[in-house]
Structure 1
Amino acid sequence: MAEPFKNFINAELVRSAANQLQRVDARFKAKPFVARVVPQLDALELKARALCVADALADALPADFDDATNLLERALAPVGVRDDAPAMHLSGDGLSGWFLWSVGEYASRRGIDHPERALTFLHALTQRFTAEFAIRALIVAHPELVYRSLAQWVHDDSEHVRRLVSEGTRPRLPWGLQLRTLIADPSPSLPLLEVLLDDPSEYVRRSVANHLNDIAKDHPALVATWVEKHLPGASPERRALLKHACRTLIKKGDPRILEAWGLGAKFRGTATLSIAPRRITLGGAVELTLDLTSTSKQPQSLVIDYLVHHVKADGRTSPKVFKGWTVTLPARAARTLTRKHAVKPITTRTYYAGVHRVEVQINGTVVAEAEFRLAL
């Protein structure tokens, strides 16, 4: 069984990090710090553990923020010693890895009143472990100052710093503080993303794609315009970035996005969906079988997704799009596609008994449907 995520921050990690901090500055009292943190860890999940350590750091580090960040910088591992795996790098080289999530949280809180020093520190921190969570409070409190720094960081030699420009400003970063002003108006970030669009690092480009996908959830037309501008003549690397950025809009069948990717043509042919078994209980699965027959004289590029209309508590239904298939159907050809769909309890959805309708859409248009009955 895989190690639980929460154990990325564990007692051994806390003890080793405390010793590193005391090694560079005897004022840091390792034993009281460890005694405060370790007894709390078992009851906490990963993010709560990171915040718990940050609370303890705030009390254990010098009260002067510049003094504290100087101490932390001396304790950091050299640039290039970066390990995001659960076994954090804690040799004599210094701190890197998951403990630095807590360090970033500390800098985010205490640095609000010292934003320039905080940004300098986060520039160093992100080269050992991402500062994408830490920078967000500074963006909220000091947007003009932060964006001036980000405009310089897009040209930084470190791919980790360049990635922070994109990842730290994502409007809806998972686990991160939502940037409501950027959800409402993402335009401040667009010039930065444009510089990073052809970044030599795939690590950076993937972040740009995820950032654009965030924007697409609230401003689909803006992203469609972006793709229409940047897709023609794009390199393979840029095409991959833009395709990943469009994944939500492709699933939703956005007509402009489908047209941009040459997927906007209406399916020419017949489609029949069947579901077996027709009745299942929660925890079971159904098999979807889609029979396609082309009536076109030309091959057809097809993006095929399916929508499950989940029954709600009041008897109404709510659709959820699931990724199906991407195929090229030859002229006058027939093809059968199958997919197993599990209906299992998950934390993000409550299932209710009743008839669940399934619709198949091809290139954004519904072409077939069937249904199954769910019992609890």
Structure 2
Amino acid sequence: MSSEYGLKKHFTGETATILGTSIETVMPRFDTAGYAAEVDRRVPGLELKDRVLVLTEGLRSRLPQDYPKALEVLRSTLVDELPEGQGMFTVSWFLMPVARYVEEYGLDHPEESLDFLEEVTRCHTGEYAIRPLITAHREAAMERIARWAHSPSHNVRRLASEGIRTRLPWSGRLPFFVDDPSPVLEILEHLRSDPSDYVRKSVANNLNDLSKDHPALVLETAARWTRESPTPETAWIVRHALRTLVKSGDQEALALLGATGGEHMRVHGLTVRPAAVRLGDTLTLRFSLENTDSRSHRVTVDYAVHHVRRNGRLIPKVFKLTEVELAPGQTRHLEKTHTIKQVQTRTYYPGEHPVDIQVNGLTLATDRFEFLG
């Protein structure tokens, strides 16, 4: 399964059958057929999270009402630990209702819930289910998360970071960590040079979340990590953690990543072609970038497409273009293609869309294309 956006259609009676068949191995009287029929009856017209809740509610009504006993039954649905590169949207997507069970019904049993989530996250994820536990039982949850940050399992270490993100997609914010991010940073300290790409990506996303509310603190942390832990792993985390600040043109973030001299750059001959497009067409951006300084500079080059909204407003979206080092007086010719395609979070509306070239966050040239609908 390639992405979360394709998940919705899979949460039907077929998924109920997958779960029920596993449960029958330890609870032979579990009504798998009735469970599947109920799910098929209730899910039409619902979005992903509501479909998952239907499956979770169906489990609740058929499992022992004693919560710890229900978890013992649900352990039968768990699969082997996922290796690096596999996750909740691939082999173990069907376990979303199992993790949701903890989220919905586990608050009165924090220790049992945390134990179970450690098992779940090895073969799926517990990043959503743990957030109500953090809110209701913060001290116990954070003590456990601190231990998870040292786990030999990359999946468990990843949960230590992902579960405490302040702006986790598909989830509500954790306002107490927005107000005081120090508990989050204490956990991330242990993961700042993690050998797992899966963990490093979570740490970078976590810091990027924090940069939207505490940019100075994240810059200070990134600079310290760069000094104290000069490893390729830490460098990767820092680069990806600062992406929002870089796209906004934060000069301290750019300098920390080695980008300097944006004020000495000039963009010549920008063209965005074709001048008029429809959905599915591909734009080509062409321009020349000149370093007018007497020193070499390494610069970050991005482009921003100002999307027309339904009400006519323009909302910019910044895309990565390249990083380039220019010698004194050097000019480089650059080209980038951009496909006009529908995505879950963006709808194209007819109208004129400006396109900016940004160098180290500074807008140096603009052209336009017309979206015809």
Q: Shared fold by TM > 0.5?
A: yes
Give the equivalent residue in structure 1 for 2:360.
363
CA contact (8 A) 1:299 1:331 kept: yes
CA contact (8 A) 2:13 2:35 kept: no
Q: d(CA) in 1 for partners of 2:332 and 2:253? A: 26
Please list every run of 5 or more consecutive structure 2 residues that lacks an aligned counterpart in the other structure.
none
- 1:1-376 matched pairs, under 5 angstroms: 4-41=6-43, 43-77=45-79, 79=81, 84=87, 88=91, 97-232=92-227, 234-277=230-273, 279-283=275-279, 284-312=281-309, 316-376=313-373
Residue 169 of structure 1: CA displacement? Answer: 0.9
Aligned amino acid, residue 254 of structure 2:
L
Q: d(CA) in 2 for partners of 1:98 and 1:315? A: 39
SS in structure 2 opposite 1:327? strand
Residue 100 of structure 1: CA displacement? Answer: 1.8
Give the TM-score, by structure 2 length: 0.88
CA contact (8 A) 1:258 1:264 kept: yes
Q: d(CA) in 1 for partners of 2:95 and 2:80? A: 14
Residue 314 of structure 1: CA displacement? Answer: 5.6
Instruction: Specify whether residues 64 and 190 from structure 1 end up closer, same or farther in structure 2 by C-alpha distance, changes over 3 A only.
Output: same
Give the TM-score, by structure 1 length: 0.87
Instruction: Specify whether residues 314 and 306 from structure 1 end up closer, same or farther in structure 2 by C-alpha distance, changes over 3 A only.
Output: same
Aligned length: 368
Q: d(CA) in 1 for partners of 2:274 and 2:80? A: 60
Residue 188 of structure 1: CA displacement? Answer: 1.8
The CA RMSD over aligned residues, in Å, is 2.8
CA contact (8 A) 1:356 1:373 kept: yes
Q: d(CA) in 2 for partners of 1:372 and 1:16? A: 49
Q: d(CA) in 2 for partners of 1:306 and 1:347? A: 21
Q: d(CA) in 2 for partners of 1:114 and 1:195? A: 28
Instruction: Specify whether residues 330 and 34 from structure 1 end up closer, same or farther in structure 2 by C-alpha distance, changes over 3 A only.
Output: same
Q: 1:266-300 CA deviation, whole Å, 9 max, x = no partner?
A: 34343124224474144245432111223334432
Q: d(CA) in 2 for partners of 1:337 and 1:108? A: 49
Residue 257 of structure 1: CA displacement? Answer: 0.5
Q: d(CA) in 1 for partners of 2:290 and 2:115? A: 61
Instruction: Specify whether residues 101 and 359 from structure 1 end up closer, same or farther in structure 2 by C-alpha distance, changes over 3 A only.
Output: same
SS in structure 2 opposite 1:127? helix
Instruction: Specify whether residues 337 and 44 from structure 1 end up closer, same or farther in structure 2 by C-alpha distance, changes over 3 A only.
Output: same
Q: 1:189-209 CA deviation, whole Å, 9 max, x = no partner?
A: 110001111223222122111
Q: 1:63-99 CA deviation, whole Å, 9 max, x = no partner?
A: 11111112223553455699747775xxxxxxxx223
CA contact (8 A) 2:16 2:32 kept: no
Instruction: Specify whether residues 72 and 371 from structure 1 end up closer, same or farther in structure 2 by C-alpha distance, changes over 3 A only.
Output: closer
Q: d(CA) in 2 for partners of 1:323 and 1:18? A: 45
Q: d(CA) in 2 for partners of 1:20 and 1:109? A: 21
Q: d(CA) in 1 for partners of 2:253 and 2:35? A: 53
Q: d(CA) in 2 for partners of 1:313 and 1:6? A: 26
Instruction: Specify whether residues 85 and 230 from structure 1 end up closer, same or farther in structure 2 by C-alpha distance, changes over 3 A only.
Output: closer
CA contact (8 A) 1:282 1:345 kept: no
SS in structure 2 opposite 1:35? helix
CA contact (8 A) 1:171 1:214 kept: yes
Amino-acid identity (%) = 37
SS in structure 1 opposite 2:259? coil
